[in-house]
Every structure is written in C-alpha cells, then in structure tokens.
Amino acid sequence: MQYQTIIMPEWTKTTDAPVRITFLLFDEFSNLCLANCLEPLRAANTITRARAFDWQIVTPSGAPVLSSSGMQVMPHAALPDMQGNADYLFVLASYYHEAHDSGATRRALRVAARKAGAVVALDAGPWLLAAAGLLAGRRATVHWDLLDAFTERFLDVEAERARVLRDGPWWTCAGAMSALDLTLGLIADHLGLAARLDVESLFIHGDPPVAMPRERQAVSDPLVHRALSLMRQNTERPLPQSVLARRLSCQARTLDRRFRATLGAPPGAVYRHLRLAAARRMLETTSLGIAEIALRSGYDSPAALTRAVRRLYGATPSQLRASA
C-alpha cells in the first residue's frame, strides 16, 4: 500500500538571508504588473521588520526602459552584468513583445536562467522564454490575449489557460492581477501564511471580496475562511473558541483541526495574530493612544498589549509608531 505524503502548511517561517530577486524589464512593460510584484514584497519587508526580500532591476542593455504608460525606469544594471546569482529571475514583457524576440535576447535569457534558482515569466514574458527554448516540454501560461497565438507558435509547450502555473523552477503568469496572486504565494512560501495574510490586509483591507475565486485566496477552506471573518469583526471583544465554533455551527475540536490543517496554527494563535496586526496598523496609521488601541484590539491594559507586541514584533508599540 502506498501512502501519500501530506505537506502541512506553515503559519510562520524565517529566512536566514534575503530572498534575491532580479526583475528583467523590456520596453512597454506593464507598470501595474511590476507594482503588483514589488509592493507586496516591500510590504512583507515592512511587516517583518527585516530585509526578507532583496531585489534589483535590470534591462537587456542597461539603458532605461519605458512602461506602457510612459513611466521611465532606471535599472541597476544590464542583464549580462546582473549582480550575482538570483533566487528568482522575473521576466516582464508586455506590449510589442515580438519586437524584443531576437537572437541576442534568446542567448541572454538562456545565460541568465542558469544563474537563477527559478525563472518567473509575467504577462508576455512566457513568449520570450518559449522562443529561447526554455519552456520546451513544460506547462505554461501567458497573457490570455496571446494564448491562441502562443499555442500555435510553440508546439513543444503545453499551454494552458491559467492565472499562474508552476512547473518545477519555471513559473508563468497571465498578467497584472495574477502577478499579485503569484507574489502573495511567494511570500507564503518563504515567510509563512501569517505574513501573506498581513500583506493581503494592507491591500484588500480585511476579507477578500465575496466574489473572489476560492483558488486565489490564501485560505481555501470555507469554514476557516468564515472563522477568519468573524475574528476580524470581533477584535475588540475576542470570542472564546467555544463561542466561535457555535457561531460556525461546528465543534471546537473540528475548528482546531481545520485551522491546523489549513494554516498550520491553532485558532487561538491565529486570532491573537490578527488582533496584534490590527493594533500595529492603528499604531502606524492613527494618533490613538496606546490605551485606546489596547482596548480596540482586545487587551485589558496597555501593559498587556506592550508585552504581546514585543513578543510578536520584537519592538514596543512606541518603537513601532516611531518607525512608521
């Protein structure tokens, strides 16, 4: 009898060194696509108070490039001069992608790919990777407007209509909003689901929209998803786990089991994290006193909040506020 290995999710993770990312930009790239990668990474660094992710921007020749909206970006280096190896090489091309497909580009991509742990192609970027022969025999997606032409052109690639596809060290992404999905997944891979939920809260401000497809959410279990909504709605007066379970029409032990299976942490730990994340946002974005913030995040006193904040963030509430 064969047994399937079950990989449990990790609520929190630490990195020994920054995750190194190189962004390769081509003229007429989508600025929204780039922002949906960079801003979540920047937010993850801010939330963890560490340089969890480090990045550089390169262009094929080292010259500045223009986005499709006319914004100029000055790179750190030319692609052949990229500093050291990268954990991830992000290849971002959008409009007029075929104009970038030259022999020089194909050779440069093949060389650069050997210096990266994983290659991530965004928007029309998969077209350039496929032209360089890097996606042969792989599953891949591309911006959906290009999918039919991509399928006809690259017969050795298993093209699929998907938002994000991972095939070993080759990742492909369909466009700007999918880039956000991909980056949130990357944050969870390296920092855990707690960091992903924290970053989501900065951009989505609470729960994802009701119509958000389940596969795009950090939490796919509907029971856990509803529990998180109740927790966020009740930070000032935290609900005991028995009350939480009763409102969700389940047993407390069922809730505990589902949280551990989905998030890698029990409900109490997740609830406490959400309350402290809310307290941190109030510290950094409002002028409320610490006593008021303690009450609004479910703590009996400023001292209790201070101890909890110090344990989670390694800083006092005053230090968090001063560094915002």
What are the boundaries of each domain within the chain? 19-190, 219-323
Backbone angles phi, psi at 93, to 5 degrees: -130, 150
Burial code of 150-164, b = ≥16 C-beta within 10 A, e = fewer? Answer: beeebeebbbeebbb
Helix and strand numbers, DSSP H then E, in the chain: 13, 11
User: Please, which pLDDT band fits residue 83 given cuts at 50, 70 and 90?
Assistant: confident
User: Please, which pLDDT band fits residue 155 given cuts at 50, 70 and 90?
Assistant: very high
The superfamily (CATH) of domain 219-323 is Homeodomain-like (1.10.10.60)
Query: Residue 58 in 3-state DSSP?
Result: strand
Instruction: Classify the phi-psi angles of 10: left when phi > 0, otherwise alpha if psi is within -120 to 50, otherwise beta.
Output: beta
Chain centre distance of CA 43: 10
The CATH class that applies to domain 19-190 reads alpha beta
Q: In 3D, which of 8, 10, 11 has the Cα closest to residue 271?
A: 11
Q: Mind listing the pLDDT tens digit for each residue in 84-133?
A: 789 999 999 999 999 999 999 999 999 999 999 999 999 999 999 999 99
Specify the pairing of strand 65-66 against strand 86-93: unpaired
Cα–Cα distance for residue pair 251/238, rounded to 1 Å: 18
Please report how the helices 267-285 and 302-313 are oriented relative to each other, as an axis angle in degrees rounded to 10. Answer: 100
The pTM (predicted TM-score) of the whole model is 0.86
Name the DSSP class of 145.
G
Q: Which residues make beta-bridge pairs with 119? A: 89, 170
The pLDDT score that the predictor gives to residue 214 is 44
Specify the pairing of strand 72-73 against strand 65-66: antiparallel
